[in-house]
Amino acid sequence: MKIKNITKVLLLLSIFLVGSCGYKLGGLEVIGENVGKTASIKILSGSKSIKQSFLNSGFVVNDQDYEYVIKISGPDYIKETTSVTSSAVENEFTIEGVMRVTILDKNNNIIIENKVITFSQDHKFSSSSINSSLSEEEIIRDDIKKFLEVQAINILRSII
């Protein structure tokens, strides 16, 4: 039981550190590793927050003049419930976020194809606080999404 609690604390600490791995530069938050590696990119994704994360990381997003095309699908979430019995005092579920990243150069040559990024987080809640658990689930999904976005940025920076 103590190992599980220690694991959760370490997981939460790592999420906090990833969430705070940016720094302010002229009023803008810079996200990810190797912040000097930026480029002009075109993003193909349905998420506005992904575009904003790349902008905050110093990338120039331009649909006409770009060096790389980044196709991002997701994040998609999978929720797996561990205990659901009516006699359980505590219930637990795991949420896993999955994002797929494809990177093309300006000539549409594939550099990275369908790179799968995953991240999961466990959550325990009391049977008596199911309503608060729903809002906590939204927070967990948002944390997972932010982590996956930073990983997508780091993937692009690794090839520049």
For residue 84, what are the domain limits?
2-159
Q: Which residues of the chain have pLDDT under 70?
A: 1-36, 83-91, 125-134
* Neighbour tally for 35: CB within 10 Å: 15
Give the model's pLDDT for residue 93. Answer: 81
Q: Count up the domains in the chain and report the number.
A: 1
Phi-psi region of 26 (alpha: psi -120 to 50; beta: other; left: phi over 0): left
Q: By CB neighbour count within 10 A (0-12 exposed, 13-18 middle, 19+ buried), where does 43 fall?
A: buried
pTM over 0.75: no
pLDDT at residue 83, as a whole number: 61
CATH number at residue 140: 3.30.160.150
* 3-state SS class at 120: strand
